[in-house]
Amino acid sequence: AQSVAQPEDQVNVAEGNPLTVKCTYSVSGNPYLFWYVQYPNRGLQFLLKYITGDNLVKGSYGFEAEFNKSQTSFHLKKPSALVSDSALYFCAGRDDQRGYQKVTFGTGTKLQVIP
Amino acid sequence: NAGVTQTPKFQVLKTGQSMTLQCAQDMNHNSMYWYRQDPGMGLRLIYYSASEGTTDKGEVPNGYNVSRLNKREFSLRLESAAPSQTSVYFCASSSGATSTDTQYFGPGTRLTVL
C-alpha cells in the first residue's frame, strides 16, 4: 500500500528566510509525487510534480521540491519566504502501475510565515 | 473558464436528512473525484469516476452515493446524513489521459450535520 507522510503539522519561518516543508513517501513502484497548496476557505491548487528525470523540480510562486530516492523524500522548498506563502501544504503521491491508481495525500503542513 | 465549481458552499443538515452536492467542470476532463477533508487526516477519497459512465469506490464510500451525470457533472449524495459526515467536501477533476495528470479542485462545500 502506498503512503505519504508529512511529519510536521506546522512550520514557522520568518519572512525572507528559506523554508522547507517535509514529505516522505512509500510506493511499490516508481513514484509520481505532487505538492498542492490550500489557502483559507479555498480548494487545493497544484504547485509542482515529479515524474522522472531531474531531481529538482521547479513550480509555481518560486517553490521547488527535491526528490531524493535513497531517503524516499520529496521536500518542498523556497529560498525566501513571503507572508503570502502562509497556507496549508499537501504532499501527494501514487505509483506508476498501469490502470487507475488513486493519489494518496499527506495530512498537510500548515506554514506560518512571520513578518 | 470557471474550472471546477461546487454547490452549495455551505450546508447544515439534521441527522437523517438527505442532500446532494453538485460538481461541474468545464475543462473537458475525463476523470472526476470526491474527497472529504477532516482535520489531521488530509484528504480521503470517497468516490471517483475515471471516465464518463463509470464510478468506483474510494477509501471511505460508506454512507455516500455518486452519479456521473455526463462528462461535466459528478454529484455526491448523502441519503441519511450522520454527524460523522460533518466535513469539508472537495470535488476535483483531471484529464485522465496519463497517470501523472494534475487534479484541479473546486472551492469546497462545508457540511455540518447536527
Closest to A69 measured CA to CA, from A26, A106, A112: A26
* Confidence (pLDDT) at A35: 97
* Confidence (pLDDT) at B97: 65
* CA distance from start to end of chain B: 36
Q: Inter-chain contact A32–B108, Cβ cutoff 8 Å?
A: no
Please report residues of A whose CB lies closer than 8 A to that of B35: 105
Among A98-107, B47-56, B84-93, the least confident range: A98-107
Burial of A83 (0-12, 13-18, 19+ CB in 10 A): exposed
Among A97-101, A105-109, B29-33, B78-82, the least confident range: A97-101
Residues on B contacting A at a C-beta cutoff of 8 Å: 4, 31, 35, 40-45, 48, 50, 56, 58-59, 90, 92, 99-100, 102-108
Q: For testing the chain B interface, which of A3, A8, A94, A100 should be mutated: the one with the most B CBs within 10 Å?
A: A100
* Confidence (pLDDT) at A80: 97
Residues 6+ apart with CB under 8 A from B64: B34, B46, B47, B76, B77, B78
Separation between Cα atoms, residue A4 and residue A102, nearest integer Å? 12
* Confidence (pLDDT) at A40: 87
* Confidence (pLDDT) at B41: 83
Question: Does position A31 have pLDDT exceeding 70, yes or no?
Answer: yes
Q: Inter-chain contact B102–A105, Cβ cutoff 8 Å?
A: no
Please report residues of A whose CB lies closer than 8 A to that of B108: 41-43
pLDDT band for B8, please (50, 70, 90 cuts).
very high
pLDDT tens-digit map of A43-101: 899 999 998 888 999 999 999 999 999 999 999 999 999 999 999 999 999 876 655 56
How much helix, strand and coil, in percent to the nearest 5, is found in chain B? 5, 50, 45
Averaged pLDDT of chain B: 92
Question: Does position B96 have pLDDT exceeding 90, yes or no?
Answer: no
Among A32, A43, A107, select the one facing B107 at the smallest CB separation.
A43
* Confidence (pLDDT) at A3: 87
Q: What is the largest CA-CA distance in chain B?
A: 41
